[in-house]
Amino acid sequence: MEKQSTHNLVIGYILWIFGFLGSHRFYYGKPISGTIYFFTLGLLFIGWIVDLFLLPSMDRDADIRFIPGKVDYSVAWILLVFLGVFGLHRMYMGKWISGILYLLTVGLFGIGIIYDMWTLNDQITLINGEVGRNIPAT
């Protein structure tokens, strides 16, 4: 039985377009290099170009590392990257209170968005992992 995919390579390439800001690296669960790319414009665009060829392996690694489930990683990431200041990614994950706080505070003044860029994959993995625990054993 093949493991269900968690990340989408097409989304990875779409985020790669903004990769000189590190968005594709954050998407694939690499927040340290994502931050480095953000501050160095994708290591002066050279690392960004190299990543064009590394995206398929990053996608495979993310599919192995993260847990699939009711919350779709790609949808949450698209909402975070393009609409994060409105908290829609948090509302999508069922975190309504913090989503409304983000909406009223421009993503908690930007700090919340940075936090979510670093932790969104792990937040989703926790939510998706809890679903399996609530099923009674037969």
Mind listing the pLDDT tens digit for each residue in 80-102? 999 999 999 999 999 999 999 99
Residue 137 pLDDT class (50, 70, 90 cuts): very low
Give the pair of three-digit tokens for residue 9. 């390579």
Q: What's the burial of 89, exposed, middle or buried (CB within 10 Å: 0-12/13-18/19+)?
A: buried
Taking a C-beta distance cutoff of 8 angstroms, is the pair 37, 20 a contact? Answer: yes
Q: Domain ranges in the chain? A: 1-65, 68-138
Please report, rounded to a whole number, the percentage of residues in the chain having pLDDT higher than 90.
85
* Res. 61 pLDDT band, cuts 50 70 90: very high
Note the pLDDT of residue 130.
87
Distance CA 92, CA 105 (A): 18
- Kindly report the number of other CB atoms within 10 A of residue 103's CB atom: 15
